[in-house]
Structure 1
Amino acid sequence: METSTFPLTSFRVLYPQFNGVGDDEIDIIAQSALNYFSACKGVCTNELWMLVVAHMLTLRKMIADDESPTGVVTSVTIDKVSVSFTAPPAGSDWSHWFKMTTFGQQFLALIKRCSVPQYLGGGGERSAFRGVGGRFTRGGRLR
């Protein structure tokens, strides 16, 4: 993925609710969005990038409109103004932040789907390889 060119044309088609936002503002948000996920060579990368940008633009709009992006309102008191929020169920602060918008929730689902598992060899594989001097490590067997 070329991180210097955000797919603005695709973004405008997929997310028409942001047509009123200028190209320069989207480009700045897009460069900032790269801090929230690692660009990879996968097919999902541009989609992930656009979802993070849409998430960040939605949060910015909510804050500008004096809406609360912090969670669901659970209780309200009118006299002496008291408002309580509940956070969506999340395993981490990162997950909680993304669950504040539907675009963030889509991002979490897609990143889980598109992430590539990694394999780290264990002791069984390592015992079959020769070490320095031609000897098998661990005597060629598991301990």
Structure 2
Amino acid sequence: MGCIQYNDSAFRSLFPAYANTVLYPAAMVQAFWDTATAYVSNRKGGCYTGGMTVAQQTLALNQMTAHLLYLNGQIAAGNTPGVMTGATIDKISITLEPPPAPNAWQYWLQSTPYGQQLLALLQVVSAGGFYVTTSVPGQAGFRFGNGW
């Protein structure tokens, strides 16, 4: 099986916003990539891939890394992701409205351009779902023959 390893040059060529190695040292990006593996598995094959090819899984890991880096930058700059629907200057009050999302995972991914790319990839590779059986499926996923 094995694991997908972080590739610094491949990541930086995919995401030129993080090409500056002074602002984004390799060790820092690697740390965010390691964190990304908590959301997207870096283990190849089996049930870990969610139906993705190794190339898709690698892209998903890199997109999650860029998503986490982007959020970190937003937080460091004092920006809160969200759609502002109201603000008060005196006594500082801000009202945020989440974008339409069916769940917190999708809302969180929609908060950055890289998360949006990742969400699109995950939706494409998960289309159709999975069918698990010990025998050969028939038409429309039903088993035919003895025992059923």
How much is the aligned-residue C-alpha RMSD, in angstroms?
Answer: 2.3
Which residue number in structure 2 is paired with residue 95 of structure 1? Answer: 106
Instruction: Specify which of 129, 135, 140 is matched with residue 146 of structure 2.
Output: 129
Match of 1:81, as an amino acid?
I
Report runs of 4+ in structure 1 exceeding 3 Å deviation: 1-4, 120-124
The structure, 1 or 2, with the larger RCO (C-alpha pairs under 8 Å, 6+ apart) is 2
* Residue 66, structure 1, aligned to residue 78, structure 2: yes
Structure 2 residue 34 is matched with structure 1 residue 31: yes
For structure 2, list consecutive stretches of 5 or more residues without a partner in the other structure: 43-48, 134-139
What is the alpha-carbon distance in structure 1 between the residues aligned to residue 121 and residue 29 of structure 2? 21
Alpha-carbon spacing, 1:2–1:101, altered in 2? closer, same or farther (3 Å): farther
Using the size of structure 1 for normalisation, the TM-score is 0.79
Which amino acid is 2:108 matched to? W
Q: Tell me how many residue pairs correspond in the alignment.
A: 129
User: What percentage of aligned pairs have identical amino acids?
Assistant: 30
Query: What is the CA-CA distance between 1:112 and the residue it aligns to?
Result: 1.1
Counterpart residue type for residue 56 of structure 1: L
1:1-143 to structure 2, matched below 5 A, reads: 3=3, 5-18=5-18, 19=20, 20-39=23-42, 40=49, 42=53, 43-69=55-81, 71-115=82-126, 117-120=129-132, 125=143, 128-130=145-147
More helix by share: 1
Partners of 1:65 and 1:9 in 2: CA distance: 26
Write the distance in 2 (CA, Å) between the matches of 1:103 and 1:82.
29
CA distance in structure 2 between the aligned counterparts of 1:123 and 1:92, rounded to whole angstroms: 29
* Compared CA separation, residues 124 and 3, structure 1 to 2 (3 A): closer
TM-score of the pair, normalised by structure 2: 0.77
Q: Which runs of 5+ in 1 are unaligned?
A: 131-136, 138-143
**Amino acid of the residue matched to residue 125 of structure 1?**
R
Q: Secondary structure of 2:3's match?
A: coil
